[in-house]
């Protein structure tokens, strides 16, 4: 799952057990920027107990390993924070100038998905 929030962008996937198999009870909350993980930890104190793992050369360099039940509560709380009508504007307001490149990336994602909508095959709704 990809999750874009006013705190940053995250890719969430099942963690792996020591034998390499997936552990559906544990998740990796991955980010491309350490500041995005740190912002999430600042907002959700329970995440400060989890060390930020840095794995150079990986697709997502930074990650937290958290229990799925903890993560689902965090996502529910993120949803309950919804008090804006335009996400890109909220990300810009919330993050200020230090977040300008993230907001720019959000506009790029919006444009890409808008292109996808405009090329939808006829007959599908």
**DSSP conformation letters of the chain:** -EEE-SS-EEEEEEEE-TTS-EEEEEEEEEESSHHHHHHHHHH-GGGGGSPPEE-TTSSS-EEEEEEHHHHHHHHHHHHHT---S-HHHHHHHHHGGGGHHHHHHHHHHHHHHHHHHHTPPTT--
Average pLDDT of the chain to the nearest whole number? 94
pTM for this predicted structure: 0.89
Residue 120: pLDDT band with limits 50, 70, 90: confident
């Amino acid at each position: 799952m990809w999750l874009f929030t006013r705190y940053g962008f995250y890719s969430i996937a099942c963690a792996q057990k020591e034998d390499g198999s997936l552990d559906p009870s544990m998740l990796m909350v991955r980010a491309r920027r350490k500041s995005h993980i740190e912002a999430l930890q600042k907002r959700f104190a329970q995440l400060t107990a989890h060390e930020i793992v840095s794995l150079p050369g990986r697709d997502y360099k930074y990650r937290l390993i958290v229990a799925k039940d903890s993560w689902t509560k965090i996502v529910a709380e993120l949803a309950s924070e919804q008090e804006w009508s335009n996400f890109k504007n909220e990300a810009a307001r919330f993050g200020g100038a230090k977040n300008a490149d993230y907001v720019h990336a959000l506009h790029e994602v919006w444009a890409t998905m808008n292109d996808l909508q405009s090329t939808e095959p006829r007959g599908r709704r």
